[in-house]
Amino acid sequence: MAETRMADGAPAAEGLGWRLGMQAYTFHMNTFYEAIDNTESLGLRWIEAFPGQKLSPEKPDAQMVHTMPKELYPEVKQKLASAGVKLVCYGVCNVGQTEESARVVFDFAKAMGIENIVSEPAPEMFDILSALCDEYGINVALHNHPKPSPYWSPDTVLERCKGKSERIGSCSDTGHWMRSEVNPVEALKKLEGRIKTLHLKDLNQFGPQGHDVPWGTGKADVKAILRELLRQGVKAPFSIEYEHNWGKAMPEIAECVKAFDRIAAEVAAEKKTS
């Protein structure tokens, strides 16, 4: 149990169907169980796991990964439940090159109650993934690492989604778009109807040297981003993946939580009066 609640969650945002949580990679220097504790201490109730993180201080040889022994599933679920944190997303993960390899990820996601598998799959996997998404009732969200990664451009994401299950869409990483000199609001407009989850970020500048800053203090225009998502009626989990001041960023992350709820309330009020 975490000792201190650093923030009060995001109740205004939740009223809009926006669930703010942590991407565990923010705490990749710690274990997954410690990431859960940090998430709880921030007043948040959702988490996105990433493959390969050490599981716990007591079991540093075990990993939080889709190939983990099934005997560990109940322990992980109990840890999450005891903290009041739900595992909603998993990634960025490799689904492999075959239906068999992809099913391993989907089976893990189903067992753990995961809604979104975040991945950057090979083009030849999309027919398989489209069918598996519908079979399992689980989304595949295409993540955009910066240039020259396969999905840095929202246009590529849209092309891969064409003719595929409605459960295939975007894990919209606003910070990586900024590193690729892509305007996040314009990218979100292009992806309307396909946004499944977000790695919401604000950076100090556009370009590859940009780094995370507390939301609302950088160049992303977080209010415009949330305004656009509200216009679209997006109801999705948002992950904080804070990739700056490693190991020392909890106060900055707490500022992101407070800013998210404040800005969400502001854009909701705007809509009511418009």
Structural domains in the chain, sorted by start: 11-273 (3.20.20.150)
Contact between 120 and 145 under an 8 Å Cβ cutoff? The reply is: yes
Q: Which pLDDT value is given to residue 232?
A: 98
Residues of the chain with pLDDT under 50: 1-5
The 3-state DSSP class for residue 141 equals strand
CA max distance for the chain:
55
- Please report which helix (H) or strand (E) contains residue 169, including its range: strand 168-173
Spatial separation of the C-alpha atoms in residues 40 and 16, rounded to whole Å: 21
Residues 6+ apart with CB under 8 A from 140: 95, 116, 117, 118, 119, 121, 129, 132, 133, 167, 168, 169
Q: What is the DSSP string of 44-96?
A: --EEEE-TTEE--SS-TTSEESTTS-GGGHHHHHHHHHHHT-EEEEEEEE---
User: For residues 10-23, b (16+ Cβ closer than 10 Å) or e, as one string?
Assistant: bebbeebebbbbbb
The 3-state DSSP class for residue 215 equals coil
Q: Which pLDDT value is given to residue 263?
A: 96
Contact between 185 and 221 under an 8 Å Cβ cutoff? The reply is: yes
Tens of pLDDT, residues 180-210: 999 999 999 999 999 999 999 999 999 999 9
Quickly count: other Cβ atoms within 10 Å of residue 258's Cβ.
Answer: 18
Q: Which pLDDT value is given to residue 271?
A: 83
Q: Can you give the pTM of this predicted structure?
A: 0.95
Q: Which pLDDT value is given to residue 11?
A: 73
Q: Find, among 180, 115, 113, the residue nearest to 141 by Cα.
A: 115
